[in-house]
Structure 1
Amino acid sequence: MINKKQSTKEFSERLKHVIAALGTTGREFSKRAGIGYSTVHNYMHGSSSPTLDNLVLLAKAGNVSIEWLATGQQSSMGSIDSDVTYVPFIDHADEMLKLDVQLIDVKDLHSLRAIKVNTDVMTPTFLTGGVIIIDTNDINLTDNKLVVLKQSGNYLFKRVQVLIDGVRLLSDNDSYPPIAVPFEDMKSINVVGNVVMIINKIN
């Protein structure tokens, strides 16, 4: 049986994971949850455990189930039905996309983010107005993988071609020229995640 100290520590780790997965800070998350920052700070550092009311607020703010946040036993994000997960949009975490988990082959559903496509750079692979799902845990640049990058606050959608001296970032739309990145410049690339699903039509 896990003692209270261990249980509190494990809860704090799950909470930190949720906050990190949302790409936000503890202070911003506390505002979103409607709980004082000092209280959330104590939860994050394992100094105290939440009341039931606060647990509900934390789970709702983090788009996770109360059961998973409290015990770690359920992995479906914000879902009562274990066959369904709710994926937050990357810059609009209050907007969710409902997905069948059987359609996605990833270990951690909490790492998934949805992005609306607002460019024709990858046409015909994915279309303007469609949605892509990315795995933010997978940031490796692998040959022929579709990736989302971030540069100067903007998202870039590219296909990776690995070269001897670096990588070439390709667009599936031939109107856009490839971008060559030498290995020494790789640290300047902010890889947000690899594409795991493309949804070209949203009802």
Structure 2
Amino acid sequence: MLGIKMSVQMHERLRARIRQLGMSVADVAREAGVNRSFVYDILRGKSLVPNLEKLTRIAGVVKVELEWLLTGKGTVHGDDPITDDYHNEFVAIQYVAVRPSMGGGAVVEQAEERSGRDFHFRRAWIRDRLKAAPSMLRVMAVQGDSMLPTLNDGDTILVDMNQRNPSPSGVFVLHDGMGLVAKRLEHVPMSEPPRVRIISDNARYSPYECTSGEVNIIGRVRWYGREM
């Protein structure tokens, strides 16, 4: 069991404990007297060395020792949320109702709109293969034909919002100023200001370039699913 605890990262331990207690991020932040952004940064894996005084207050709110949050070795009041099957459990990834276009783009009004169709992936796959934080993943459906044959109209994609750097090149979801699109991005070497090349895998569509400030990269596409 200790080996499992030690292999789980701090943001995973805190998220599992918050979920076990039936609390929200707002509850934890309010009772600990910290900003919600402080808690969110930990849960998203962005804050690897948070302020220890604030983290101690959070540990008190979720009824664990600070050492447990940091290393997994400390005491937990009640049942430990990190079980022997933790890595084999499935984790829910939020599905958002926006549909990135692979043509001219689709305007996004509510990027966080839920459809009630969360997808479930094995935690170990997300951690070991994708090396991603579940809270920063989103599932979307794509539309259009400009990314054929890589992506088909109606494919489901998994987007890592922690990966917004187009180097190395890959397929990303981005807002190009006109709408939300799924495209292949390449950094243009030696460009000043920095530029990105936006490419459709379907040769019928011409590539185009923008400065990095003209595009809002939502995240890198890490997986896709398709109905036969």
> 1:195 is aligned with what amino acid?
V
* Matching residue of 1:87: 93
Asked whether 1:171 is paired with 2:200, we answer yes
Higher relative strand content: 1
Change in Cα spacing, 1:102 to 1:16, as seen in structure 2 (3 Å) is: closer
Counterpart residue number, 1:119: 144
In structure 2, C-alpha distance between the alignment counterparts of 1:121 and 1:150, rounded to whole Å: 16
Mark the runs of 5 or more structure 2 residues left unpaired by the alignment: 1-27, 45-57, 63-80, 98-112
TM-fit CA distance, 1:201:
2.4
Match of 1:97 in 2: 119
Alignment of 1:144 with 2:181, yes or no, is no
Distance in structure 1 (CA, Å) of the matches to 2:227 and 2:123? 18
Decide whether aligned partners of structure 1 residues 162 and 14 sit closer, same or farther in structure 2, where only a CA change above 3 A counts: closer
Residue in 2 that maps onto 1:196 = 222
Q: RMSD of the TM alignment (CA)?
A: 3.8
1:14 Cα shift? 6.9
TM-score between both structures, scaled by the size of structure 2: 0.52
CA apart distance, 1:127: 1.1
Preserved contact between residue 147 and residue 195 of structure 1 (Cα < 8 Å): yes
For each residue in 1:38-95, what CA deviation from the matched residue of structure 2 results, as whole angstroms up to 9, or x when unmatched? xxxxxxxx9xx79xxxxxxxxxxxxxxxxxxxxxx66xxxxx9852111112343233
Alignment check: 8 A CA contact 1:18 1:110 kept: no
Which has the higher relative contact order, 1 or 2, with Cα contacts under 8 A spaced 6 or more apart? 2
Amino acid at match of 2:180: Y
Shift of 1:163: 2.1
Structure 1 runs (4+) deviating above 4 angstroms are 4-7, 9-20
Structure 1 unaligned regions, length at least 5: 21-45, 51-72, 75-79
Question: 2:212 aligned to 165, 186, 194, which one?
Answer: 186
